[in-house]
Amino acid sequence: MSKRAYVNIVIWALLLTVPAWLPLIGGYTALASRILIFALCTMGLNLLLGFTGVMSFGQAAYFGLGGYGAGLILVHLTSNMWIAVIVGTLAGGIAAVVLGPILMNRRGIYFAMITVAIGQIFYFVAARWDSFTGGQDGLTGFSRMPLHFGSITVNLTAVPFYYFVLFFFAIGAAAVAMLLNSPLGHTFVAIRENRRRAAFLGIHVERYIWASFGIAGFLCGLAGALNALQNNFISPMDLYWVASGNFVIMAVLGGMRSFWGPLVGSIIFIGFQDYVSSIFPNNWETFIGALFIIVVLFFPNGVLGIIRRKAKVA
Amino acid sequence: MSLLHLENISRVFGKLVALQNVALEMNEGELYSVIGPNGAGKTTLFNLISGFFPASTGEIWFDGVQVNKFTPERRVALGLVRTFQITEIFPELSVFENIRIGVEAQMGCSAHPWPGRKLLQQINRRVEELLKITSLEAQADRTVSELAHGDQRVVEVTMALSRKPKLLLLDEPTAGMGRAETHHMVNIIRVLHEQQKISILFIEHDMDIVFGLAHRITVLNYGQVLATGTPKEIAANPRVQAAYLGEAA
C-alpha cells in the first residue's frame, strides 16, 4: 500500500471516531464539526489559491450566502434539512458562477480586490436588509430539525450532527480529490504554474478560472449551509472580509499545495481560537497573527510543507 | 498553397517601428529560419504570428485562413504552436505532467472532471510516445525546475509537439546551451522535421545551425526584410554581410 493511501486511511479513521477520542484530549464534538465546516470551505478556497493560483479574498461571500440560503429556507419554506443544505450549496455556487465572468480576466491584486468588493456588497445587503435577513442582529428563527430515515428519527444533537457534517465533508473532499486527479485538475495546476504556457498550448485560461471559481463557490456554499445549521444562527459577519481573510489564513497555515492542508489549517485555527480564547478572550487573534507570520516567513508551504520536507530528507 | 503567408505586416510600439512591411512566404514541409542582429524584430515577428499581440497593419495567413484576429488559443487549435526565447514550462511539475497538459489539450479533454480508466490510459500512452520521440523517458518523473537548462528547452519543444503542430515556431531553440546540448537539440529538430513531418520556422543566432538546417532564410534588420533566399544566396549577399559585419565591410 502506498504511503499516501495509508495516510488517507488514518485520517478518515480518525475523523470517523472523533466523538470517541476528542473528549479524551479536552475537546468536544461540536468543535470538531466546526473544524470540518471551515476545512470544507477552505478546501474550496484552496482550489483557487493553491491549485489554480488565483487569490480570492472574498470566499466568505459564498460561505455566507450558503448560510443565508439554508437559514431562509428553514425559516420560510421547509423543515427538511437535506433541502436546506442543497439550497445553501446552490446559493453559494450559482452566485460564484454568475459572478465569475467579472473576475476571470483579472490578474493578481485586481482579482483579489474584486473578490473583496463583491464580498462586501453581500455583507452590506445582509447587514441592512432587516426585514429579510435580520440585519446586523443576524438571522434567527430556525434550528436543526430531526432527520427521518423511514420510521427512524434522528435528533441532530452534537454527535449525530457531527456525522451529518462529516457526510457532506466526505462528499466535498472526495469531489476535490477526484477533480485534482482529473484533466480538469491538471489544467488548473498548469494555470497556476504558467499562464502564458497554458494559453499557448491552446488552453482558454479565463474559462478555467471561471470553472475553478464556480466549483469553489459550491464548496463554500455547502460549508456555509452547514455552519448555519451548526449555530442555528447566521451573522452578517460570516460574509465580512475578515471572515474571508480567516479562510486564507487557514489555507496558508495548513499548506496551500497539499490536499489535506485546509483541514490541518482549520484544526490549528479553530483549535487556537477555542483554547487560546478561553485564556485570552480579547487577544487570541494576536497569537494567530504571530503564528501566521512565522509560518509565512519560515514555512511558506505550511505545516504540511514542513512534514513533507522532513519526509524527503529522511 | 503556402503554409504561412505574411503580407506587409507592421508593428508599432508608440514611436518605435518594430516591424515594417514584412512579407514572408513559407511552404509546407520547409525548415525556415529567421535571422538578424539583436533588436531586428525577430521575436516581435513570432509574437505576431502566434497571436501574442496583434499586427498594427498587414495580414497573416495560416494554412489558407486569415488569422489576424484569432486568439493564441485558436491559432494553436489550427496547428500553429510556438516555444519562447525564455523557456516557458510548468516549473513545479514533473516532465511527464508537463507533457500531459499538452496531450490533454490536444485530445480536447482538458475540462474533463472525472475521466475513465480508458481515457487516462490513452493520455498516458500518448505522453510516453512523445517522451520517446525527444528521448526524455529517463527524466519523466523529475521536476522540470531541477533539470538542466537544455533539457528544460527540450521539454518545452515536446510540449509544443503534443499539440500536433502543422507549423512549429522555435524561438532560439539552442539559446544558452553548451555544445552537447546544442547538438542534441539540432538532432531533435531534424527528427521533428524528417520523421514527424512538421514544418518548422525558427529564430537562431548560431550561423552553423542556421546554415546546416534551414532550406530558406529570411534576414531581418531594423524591422525590415533585408533578404530572403537559400543559405547559399544569403551567404553571398553583400547587404547581409554588411548588416552583420558593420557598414565598413
DSSP percent split of chain B into helix, strand, coil, nearest 5: 40, 25, 35
Query: What is the rounded CA–CA span in Å between residue B13 and residue B239?
Result: 27
Residue-wise pLDDT for A43-98, tens only, equals 999 999 999 999 999 999 999 999 999 999 988 988 888 999 999 999 999 999 99
Residue span of the structural domain in which A98 resides: 3-313
Put simply, the answer to whether A183 touches B111 (Cβ < 8 Å) is: yes
Number of domains chain A contains? 1
Taking 50 as the threshold, does the pLDDT of residue B248 lie above it?
Answer: no
Which residues of B, range 122-151, sit inside 8 Å of A by Cβ? 123
Q: Which CATH number characterizes residue A221's domain?
A: 1.10.3470
C-alpha grid cell for residue A255?
499548506
pLDDT value of position A312: 60
Contacts of A189 in chain B (CB under 8 A): 90, 93, 97
pLDDT value of position A75: 84
pLDDT value of position A295: 83
Q: Residue B73 is nearest to which of A187, A202, A211, comparing CB atoms?
A: A202
Put simply, the answer to whether A184 touches B112 (Cβ < 8 Å) is: yes
pLDDT value of position B245: 65
Shortest Cα–Cα distance, B72 to chain A (Å): 6
Interchain CB contact of B81 with A (< 8 Å) = yes
pLDDT value of position A297: 84
Distances (CA, A) of B172 to A210, B84, B182, B223, B232: 35, 8, 11, 18, 21
- Locate the domains of chain B by residue range: 2-245
C-alpha grid cell for residue B101?
497538459
Shortest Cα–Cα distance, B23 to chain A (Å): 24
The answer to whether residues B24 and B6 touch, using CB atoms and an 8 Å cutoff, is: yes
Put simply, the answer to whether B84 touches A196 (Cβ < 8 Å) is: yes
pLDDT value of position A137: 79
pLDDT value of position B246: 61
pLDDT value of position A276: 83
Q: Taking the CB of residue A311, how many other CB atoms lie within 10 A of it?
A: 9
Contacts of A204 in chain B (CB under 8 A): 73
Shortest Cα–Cα distance, B235 to chain A (Å): 34
The answer to whether residues B170 and B192 touch, using CB atoms and an 8 Å cutoff, is: no
Put simply, the answer to whether B101 touches A178 (Cβ < 8 Å) is: no
Range in A138-142, A249-253, B68-72, B123-127 the model is least confident about? A138-142
Low-confidence ranges of chain A (pLDDT < 50): none
pLDDT value of position B83: 95
pLDDT value of position B220: 92
Which residue on chain A is closest to B109 by alpha carbon?
A183
Query: What is the rounded CA–CA span in Å between residue A313 and residue A201?
Result: 35
Torsion of CA B45, B47, B50, B55, to 10 degrees: -70
pLDDT value of position A313: 58
Taking 50 as the threshold, does the pLDDT of residue B249 lie above it?
Answer: no
Helix axes A302-313, A241-254, angle to 10 degrees: 10
Q: What average pLDDT does range B80-102 have in this prediction?
A: 95
pLDDT value of position A138: 80
Contacts of B90 in chain A (CB under 8 A): 189-190, 193-194, 197
Claim: this prediction has a pTM higher than 0.95: no
Taking 90 as the threshold, does the pLDDT of residue B65 lie above it?
Answer: yes
Which residue on chain A is closest to B76 by alpha carbon?
A202
Mean pLDDT (chain B) is 92
Q: How far is CA B62 from the centre of its chain?
A: 14
Please name the residue that has the C-alpha cell 497571436: B51
Put simply, the answer to whether A187 touches B50 (Cβ < 8 Å) is: no
Put simply, the answer to whether B111 touches A208 (Cβ < 8 Å) is: yes
Return the HEC string of chain A.
CCHHHHHHHHHHHHHHCHHHHHHHHCCCHHHHHHHHHHHHHHHHHHHHHHHHCCCCCCCHHHHHHHHHHHHHHHHHCCCCHHHHHHHHHHHHHHHHHHHHHHHCCCCHHHHHHHHHHHHHHHHHHHHHCHHHHCHHHCECCCCCCCEEECCEEECCCHHHHHHHHHHHHHHHHHHHHHHHCCHHHHHHHHHHHCHHHHHCCCCCHHHHHHHHHHHHHHHHHHHHHHHHHHHCCECHHHHCHHHHHHHHHHHHHHCCCCCCHHHHHHHHHHHHHHHHHHHCCCCHHHHHHHHHHHHHHHCCCHHHHHHHHHHHHC
Q: Residue B88 is nearest to which of A178, A194, A211, comparing CB atoms?
A: A194
Put simply, the answer to whether B81 touches A200 (Cβ < 8 Å) is: yes
- Give the amino acid at A293: I
Q: How far is CA B137 from the centre of its chain?
A: 22
Taking 60 as the threshold, does the pLDDT of residue B78 lie above it?
Answer: yes
Q: Which CATH number fits domain B2-245: 3.20.20.70, 3.60.70.12, 3.40.50.300, 3.90.950.10?
A: 3.40.50.300
Interchain CB contact of B162 with A (< 8 Å) = yes
Q: Which residues pair with B229 in a beta bridge?
A: B217
Which residue on chain B is closest to A208 by alpha carbon?
B111
Q: How far is CA A152 from the centre of its chain?
A: 31
pLDDT value of position A69: 94
Q: Residue A197 is nearest to which of B89, B97, B106, comparing CB atoms?
A: B89
- The predicted complex's ipTM stands at 0.90
Residue-wise pLDDT for B11-64, tens only, equals 999 888 999 999 999 999 999 999 998 888 999 999 999 999 999 999 999 999
Interchain CB contact of B96 with A (< 8 Å) = no
Put simply, the answer to whether A189 touches B102 (Cβ < 8 Å) is: no
SS3 assignment, position B86: coil
Phi and psi angles of residue A163, each rounded to the nearest 5 degrees, phi first: -70, -30
Shortest Cα–Cα distance, B219 to chain A (Å): 26
